[in-house]
Structure 1
Amino acid sequence: MPKLTGTQTIILSRAATRPGNLAMPLPDGLHGAAAKMAVNRMITNGWVEEVDADLRKGEPLWRETGDGHGTTLVATEAGLVAIGIAPVAASDAPKPVAIRAGTKQAQVIALLQRPEGASIAEIVEATGWLAHSARGLISGGLKKKLGLQITSEKIEGRGTVYKLDAA
């Protein structure tokens, strides 16, 4: 498999964090022939693909097609795999989300996937975070950004226990 350049790695990494894995806009300073060469190689390798741009949603254009329409770039599953990110579909949305293995976020998700779930105290013990950081990850990072379905219930002796619903 061809090796990624630093520029291609940046493009794919940014795409992995955007809704729909949108690869546009390209990094600052990348334009003209250099941008065309990098993107064409990524298309050839199957790491990004051109799709019709939805101008009503304000998607940035990669190129105009000449008939009043344009295309934008989207990272493919192969592109995400090339940078070490396995796409995981959120239970209520078709868009893939990226969860890097070995991170504290992945560690918290694993705790929440256990049949018994996890309390804030257990998450704090596992991550070394403060309680408000753990609650922030659950509400902001996992529920809102990744769209994961997390439930909570009060359990005698453990307090509020959070669980990741199986999709």
Structure 2
Amino acid sequence: MTRLSDSQLVVLTAACERPDRSVYPITARLKGIAAGNVLKSLLAKGLISEVRAKRDDTIWRHDEKQGRLTLQATPAAFAALGIDESDEPAAVEAETPQTESRAKRARTAKAARVNNDKPARIREGTKQAMLIDLLKRPTGATITEIVEATSWQPHTVRGAIAGALKKKLGLAVTSEKLEGRGRVYRI
């Protein structure tokens, strides 16, 4: 199996998702000569090849005999990425216009499987468990109270509520502003 750098993976994945298998536009954030070096190494490995450029294509180089040349992913690129080349990106996009890319849908599906396979577990004796206990009280808890109990910074408390509790654990955290006490959070 061919070993690829992160930049090479980004360039190849983007090319394999396009209907025309074109390398351009390069989606990786490469500065200066780095983009050229990545493309040269992919050419040397046979994962991309030079093809005649169409009128609106970005040009890789100009050859006196062949004219304007651009770059395109080869079947070896699909094999290196473990992608089935028979997938028709044009057909997929035609069936579902203005939808997510195949790679993004695959990541979303994988994340959903991971989340459904393992229900989130709260370990006893952790600061997260302490935070949940504070929020489950009938009186709830303010950011200041949680900071004092956990020794966290206020921004860490807000992040834990929004990220770990709401998104990761799926808990319904509510907040209301009480006179004399400030904003109170509850589960």
Q: TM-score, normalised by structure 2?
A: 0.44
Q: Which has the higher strand share?
A: 1
Q: Which has the higher helix share?
A: 2
Q: TM-score, normalised by structure 1?
A: 0.49
Which of the pair has the greater relative contact order for Cα pairs under 8 Å at 6+ separation?
1
